[in-house]
Amino acid sequence: MIDLPRSARLAAWGTAVLRGEAPVGTAVRAVQRDDEPHTAAGDAPAADLAELLEGWRAAGHRGLRVVLPVPGDVSGLPGPASFNVEALDVGEAVLTDDEDGAGRRWGAWPDVTEFGSALEPGAMVAWRAALVQRPAAPPSTTLADAERQLSRALEDALGALHRLDVARWREDAATRIAQVRDGALPRDAVPPTTPPRAQRVLATAARLRGIVALASEDDGAAVTGFEAAGRSEALRGVEAVARHAVVAAVNAGLEPVRPG
């Protein structure tokens, strides 16, 4: 199944909550899914995810942004360094889009502890909230840019899988590729108020990230170190396009909805 990172779901649903477009309980269920109930920790006076969202709403925040940093690409991280290090370590975080009445901005990252087995996985998640600074500059990828870039990147990723001949080196690969290529996001991945264009971009980006994950599992047909290195570099570029598209599409929910 293809899906969005927890922070992307929280940013999308959190913005809907802060704007009065979705109940807190519905948002929490969409973010938690099959996890144990999400708790809250850190500097915010909240014990769980519902209280965290309610506290931000009471403070006057109007929306949440998602950031998906990786080494070498930390655009959108706000500082201080202690927050950036934690967000970079887990590869995701949410930020309040504005200051509250006291001039504060908040960020939170998911501290995930996984348990169980591949057949019955489980996770405990604590959202660790901290005061953050204003981001130096917003991410530059627009929703229109993301949609254009995704089409080419999806072709490149499917071509890479074909060249790797993954069906030859894993019996389940063909089925898994078809599931990722043709899959759809869960209906609760984002709130129903999400603009249709953003939903399309998110679904394509999620499929693309799933394809990259499959292609990255082992060397496949890359029989030399040179071929493996070249494939890894190409996949990093494709993954970056998909990651930026997720950020652009989720954060587009902070903009006024326009007809068409």
Angle at 128 between CA 124 and CA 134, to 5 degrees: 145
- Number of Cβ atoms within 10 Å of the Cβ of 120: 8
Closest by CA to 102, choosing from 164, 163, 170, 55, is 55
**pTM as predicted:** 0.87
Amino acid 257: pLDDT: 46
Sequence-ordered strand ranges (E) for 194-245: none
Q: Mean pLDDT per segment of 10 residues, for the chain of length 260 residues?
A: 92 97 98 97 96 97 96 93 97 96 95 91 96 78 83 71 55 65 85 93 89 67 50 74 92 63
Amino acid 30: pLDDT: 97
Q: Which tokens go with 10?
A: 């929280």
Q: Residue 119: what are its φ and ψ, rounded to 5°?
A: -80, -35
Q: Given strand 39-42, what is the order of strands in its sheet?
A: 39-42, 121-132, 105-116, 93-96, 64-67
Amino acid 110: pLDDT: 98
Q: Which tokens go with 118?
A: 């591949």
With left for phi above 0 and alpha for psi between -120 and 50, is residue 219 left, alpha or beta?
alpha
Closest by CA to 59, choosing from 33, 31, 96, is 96
CA distance 162 to 45: 51
The answer to whether 56 touches 15, Cβ cutoff 8 Å, is no
